[in-house]
């Protein structure tokens, strides 16, 4: 009987160890996940996280919608969360398994794209603006004119990140419209400006952090955190907030409907809502997060960084992109398709 009990105890211990040393599949934006955070999570839980990168909301959505992705968690932007919900690709969160959910900052607890945070946990948030090497161009960088009417100094030296909603809506706001507009006059003005400007761009590519750092590009439509990372490597880089209007985003983590490692996923979701851990996410990618108390653990250089602390005069110009109507989506897609030719 004693031997049987010992064998049973050994089996239980082995099963417990196997559970603790589980795995988790995170589907996230490229160059956006802190290795330090993952190492700490694995050390504390025994759970090994594998990160697979994507470069756009549409690419992530298409991959998961095709089925059999094998991912457990995904990180869509705000205006895409309702789309994932409508398609049944993500599921409501069990708050009983999220002891730290109260750490979500009050302003991010009840958001238009996810009422009551039923489906998602904040990851990071920021803006899309203009990054410029000020040694090459000394003019106004707080305007979409920089990429829509490219100054002579930047012709053939400016990149545009290939993120459809950001780029088309920057042009729409420059043209005097609101994101997701169905106003055909505004849309025509935005389309014509984009198509005409493309000849003056060097590329439509990602990788601005490295290529601005290395002076491969003199400017780029880019995200604020990426631009801060470039500036830390190259002090000549500056970030502009287009006064005509610019997109704000918040990327949030959601649990996939076909997740295989559900308990591991909940442990990770709860882990990233601890202020010190949320600060690790921000410290790596250089964007703000949505967790109260994380500021105390942030690097000092982020507390006053011009890419993170929006100048008061440009705050009102920042707008979260809504979920567009079917007609508005059709217009935006048509403009983007023409721009790719």
Average pLDDT over residues 188-207: 97
**Arch. (CATH architecture) of 127-248+309-340:** 3-Layer(aba) Sandwich (3.40)
Which residue, among 116, 211, 106, 102, has the nearest Cα to 161 in the 3D structure?
211
pLDDT band at 8 (very low <50, low <70, confident <90, very high): very low
128 Cβ contact partners less than 8 Å away, ≥ 6 residues apart: 161, 163, 166, 170, 221, 222, 223, 224, 246, 247, 248, 249
Which residue, among 315, 319, 341, has the nearest Cα to 170 in the 3D structure?
319
What CATH homologous superfamily does 17-125+249-302 map to? Periplasmic binding protein-like II (3.40.190.10)
Q: Tell me: the pLDDT tens digits for 218-241?
A: 999 999 999 999 999 999 999 999
Question: pLDDT value at position 6?
Answer: 35
CA atoms 206, 212, 218, 222: torsion sign: positive
The most distant pair of C-alpha atoms in the chain lies apart, rounded to whole Å, by 87
Question: pLDDT value at position 311?
Answer: 95
Residue 18 has pLDDT above 90, yes or no: no
Q: Tell me: the pLDDT tens digits for 249-296?
A: 999 999 999 999 999 999 999 999 999 999 999 999 999 999 999 999
Question: pLDDT value at position 21?
Answer: 57
248 and 229 in contact (C-beta within 8 Å)? no
Question: pLDDT value at position 14?
Answer: 33
Question: pLDDT value at position 299?
Answer: 94
Q: Helices 35-45 and 262-271, interaxial angle, to 10°?
A: 120
125 Cβ contact partners less than 8 Å away, ≥ 6 residues apart: 108, 248, 249, 250, 251, 287, 288, 289, 290
pTM, two decimal places: 0.89
Q: Determine how many CB atoms are found less than 10 A away from the CB of residue 109.
A: 17
The Cα 141–Cα 62 span in angstroms is 35
Which residue, among 27, 24, 91, 38, has the nearest Cα to 260 in the 3D structure?
24
Q: Determine how many CB atoms are found less than 10 A away from the CB of residue 27.
A: 22
pLDDT band at 138 (very low <50, low <70, confident <90, very high): very high
The domain limits of the chain are 17-125+249-302, 127-248+309-340
The Cα 21–Cα 189 span in angstroms is 56
CB burial string 310-327: b at 16+ within 10 A, e below:
beeebeebbebbbbbeee
309 and 61 in contact (C-beta within 8 Å)? no
263 Cβ contact partners less than 8 Å away, ≥ 6 residues apart: 19, 22
Residue 304 has pLDDT above 70, yes or no: yes
Average pLDDT over residues 56-61: 94
Average pLDDT over residues 319-325: 94
Question: pLDDT value at position 11?
Answer: 36
| Average pLDDT of the chain, as a whole number | 93
Percent of the chain with pLDDT over 70: 94
The Cα 123–Cα 252 span in angstroms is 5
Let me know if the fold of 17-125+249-302 is the same as that of 127-248+309-340.
yes
CA 77 to chain centre: 6
How big is the chain, counted in residues?
A: 341
């Amino acid at each position: 009987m004693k031997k049987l009990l010992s064998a049973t105890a050994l089996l239980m211990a082995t099963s417990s160890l196997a559970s603790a040393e589980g795995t988790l599949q995170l589907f996230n934006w490229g160059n956006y996940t802190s290795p330090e955070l993952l190492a700490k999570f694995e050390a504390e839980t025994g759970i090994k996280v594998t990160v697979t990168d994507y470069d756009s909301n549409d690419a992530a959505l298409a991959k998961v919608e095709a089925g059999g992705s094998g991912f457990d968690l995904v990180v869509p932007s705000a205006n895409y969360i309702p789309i994932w919900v409508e398609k049944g690709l993500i599921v409501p969160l069990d708050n009983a398994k999220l002891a730290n959910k109260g750490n979500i900052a009050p302003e991010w607890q009840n958001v238009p794209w996810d009422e009551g945070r039923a489906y998602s946990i904040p990851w990071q948030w920021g803006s899309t603006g203009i990054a410029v090497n000020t040694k090459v161009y000394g003019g106004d960088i707080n305007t979409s004119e920089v990429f829509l009417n490219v100054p002579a100094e930047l012709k053939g030296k400016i990149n545009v990140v290939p993120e459809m909603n950001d780029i088309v809506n920057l042009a729409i706001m420059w043209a005097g419209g609101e994101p997701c507009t169905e106003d055909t006059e505004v849309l025509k003005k935005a389309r014509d400006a984009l198509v005409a400007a493309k000849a003056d761009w060097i590329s439509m590519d990602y990788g601005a952090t490295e290529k601005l750092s290395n002076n491969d590009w003199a400017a780029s439509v880019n995200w604020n955190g990426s631009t801060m990372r470039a500036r830390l490597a190259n002090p000549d880089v500056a970030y502009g907030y287009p006064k005509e209007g610019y997109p704000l985003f918040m990327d949030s983590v959601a649990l996939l409907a076909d997740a295989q490692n559900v308990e591991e996923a909940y442990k990770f979701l709860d882990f990233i809502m601890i202020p010190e851990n949320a600060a690790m996410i921000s410290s790596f990618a250089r964007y703000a997060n949505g967790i109260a108390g994380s500021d105390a653990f942030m690097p000092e250089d982020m507390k006053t960084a011009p890419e993170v602390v929006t100048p008061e005069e440009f705050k009102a110009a920042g707008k979260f992109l809504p979920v567009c109507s079917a007609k508005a989506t059709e217009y935006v897609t048509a403009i983007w398709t023409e721009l790719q030719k």
